[in-house]
Amino acid sequence: MVDARGGAESRVEPDLAARQAAIAAVAWLVIAVLVHVAAHARLLFPEALDGVALLSYGRLRPIADNAFLFGWLATAAICAMFAIVPRAVGAQLHNEVLGATAVIWWHLVMFAGVATLLLGMNQGRPLAELPLGVDIGLLLLSLLVFYNVAMTAVRRNEHRLYVSVWYLLAAALMLPVLIATGSVILSGVRDALVGAFYLGGLEFLFLIPVSLGIAYYVVPASTGNAVPSRTLASIGFWTLIFVGGFTGVRYLVSGPIPLYLQAIAVAMTVVALVPVLTAAANVVGAARGRWDLVGRPSAVRYAVTSVVALVVWTALSAVTAVPSVSRLVGLTSWTAGLRTIVLAVVSSFAAFALLVYVYPLLVGRTWASERASSFHFWGSLAGALTVAGSQMAAGLVQGSLALAASRSGESAAGQAVAGELGFVMRGFHWVQLAGWLLFGAAQFALAWNAARTARAGEPVQLYAMAAPTVGSRA
């Protein structure tokens, strides 16, 4: 491997850090899904194991969420940064040993985070429940990741920075910024505003940039096509970064915040469709003439699914932010359904696209089982959509009952009953449990296939695949 600093032969094995991140990401995915299943089972059987604090829903839920976000998706994002940026800039990762060390410590800190959550050390903020000490650890490690990725781009051999590198650099920069923001606990509505910025930032400034960075790389690299428009890519990138900081306040629409903030949040969430649609046009355009790849287990199939889901999710988020819609589905399970789409479909399918494309390069073998790959795609999609669909349907029922209760002048106690919905909600919980079980089975298939590939996959000639040609130098 030629190194970025002038052609010297690197002594460290290429992709060491990326390979570690890929394996660890899959392990965290399996853990996260198992805990999601356990948490949903607790909702259905609250009296089973009653008295065991460690297995209460309030302890399992943050573990499931954080394992999914910081264990699975963040580690997959680090894998994308360590695997794609070097290839796109024509240089080895700036410091493989530093990268591998950061990955190992990231997981040690995450395990400590899981332990603290089990003990009930919860910060009380959605997706930022990890206590301050854990946050500081993740912050320092994310700074190391950012330094490594940025230095790789600075000492590049390619003159132009490819679109994927813009998105992955931005995400690498925003990860420590968001971790720091999420650990700032204020008082009152100021605290709610910080929490809302953090949530919107996670979606629009970290998860979506990583997803698009992956899609912009694996689709052209797999199809050999050029990305249709660099101008469109540039407009999409800068618009996304601009609106990303404004969109979080939509979580507080109609709440105790000034009206101008709500207007800004709604407007910016609608504007977010611009970068999403431009990116979708470019990515889908790069798949032109190679739709056969969407019909079989390939990185393109996962990436296109992720981008289509992103368009749907952004449109639904924009519609949901509008006060006349928000009054019906805001603060209901509909919100949870949207979160499931962005985490389990948009971000996860982009991460799957990365793994499907890059894992053979990292272990030097082709995927061992096409049947397992196919089951993984359909199982993941059906499972995630079952969970999200059930949550959104439950939200519609909740909102409709609350509206009916208000119109009929029912008392607050009546509203409380409408909030719980008794056996109706229980039915939705059963469907969600089934969805998580299916999604989980698919992840076991992925883990099994990855392990088998490392041992028994067909050897590939690394030099033929290590530097795939990106159709366009967009």
Partner 1 sequence: MSKRRRVTERVGVLLAGVLLLVSAGLGATVVIPTLDEAMGETTGHARTYEEDAPGLAGMRVYEREGCWYCHTQQVRRTITDTALGDRLEAGDYDGQSPAMLGLERSGPDLTHAGTRFPNGGELRRSVTGGSVHTYGHLTDRELDALVAYLQSLR
Q: How far is the CB of 469 from partner 1 (least distance, A)?
A: 20
Question: Which one, 340 or 373, has the nearer CB to partner 1?
Answer: 340
Closest CA to 317 of 327, 326, 308: 326
- What is the Cα Rg of the chain in Å? 22
Structure token pair of residue 325: 């819609």
Question: Which one, 133 or 245, has the nearer CB to partner 1?
Answer: 245
338 vs 166, 260, 330, 335, 345, CA distance in Å?
26, 24, 11, 5, 10
Please enumerate in sequence order all residues whose Cβ is within 8 A of that of 409, keeping only pairs 6 or more positions apart, or say none: none
Q: How far is the CB of 294 from partner 1 (least distance, A)?
A: 29
Q: How far is the CB of 76 from partner 1 (least distance, A)?
A: 21
Rounded to an integer, what distance in angstroms lies between the CA atom of residue 335 and that of residue 252?
12
Question: Which one, 161 or 462, has the nearer CB to partner 1?
Answer: 161
Q: Strand ranges (DSSP E) for 152-300?
A: none
What is residue 381's three-state secondary structure?
helix
Question: Which one, 33 or 174, has the nearer CB to partner 1?
Answer: 174
Q: How far is the CB of 218 from partner 1 (least distance, A)?
A: 20
Phi, psi of 352 (to 5 degrees): -65, -40
User: Residue 100 half-sphere exposure, CB side, CA atoms within 13 Å?
Assistant: 11
Structure token pair of residue 348: 């996860």
Rounded to an integer, what distance in angstroms lies between the CA atom of residue 426 and that of residue 20?
40
309 vs 54, 158, 200, 276, 381, CA distance in Å?
35, 32, 17, 10, 11
Fill in the amino acid letter for 298. S
Q: How far is the CB of 322 from partner 1 (least distance, A)?
A: 12
Rounded to an integer, what distance in angstroms lies between the CA atom of residue 246 and that of residue 197?
7
Question: Which one, 27 or 336, has the nearer CB to partner 1?
Answer: 336
Question: Which one, 241 or 294, has the nearer CB to partner 1?
Answer: 241
Question: Which one, 190 or 288, has the nearer CB to partner 1?
Answer: 190
What is residue 249's three-state secondary structure?
helix
Q: How far is the CB of 135 from partner 1 (least distance, A)?
A: 14
Q: How far is the CB of 147 from partner 1 (least distance, A)?
A: 12
Q: How far is the CB of 143 from partner 1 (least distance, A)?
A: 13
Q: How far is the CB of 91 from partner 1 (least distance, A)?
A: 13
Question: Which one, 223 or 391, has the nearer CB to partner 1?
Answer: 391
Q: How far is the CB of 370 from partner 1 (least distance, A)?
A: 38
Question: Which one, 18 or 127, has the nearer CB to partner 1?
Answer: 127
Listing DSSP states for 81-110 in one string gives: HHHHHHHHHTS--S-HHHHHHHHHHHHHHH
| Contacts of the segment 295-298: beta carbons below 8 A, 24+ positions apart | 296/370, 296/374, 297/356, 297/367, 297/370, 297/373, 297/374, 297/376, 297/377, 298/222, 298/356
Question: Which one, 25 or 63, has the nearer CB to partner 1?
Answer: 63
- Is the Cβ–Cβ distance between 216 and 163 less than 8 Å? yes
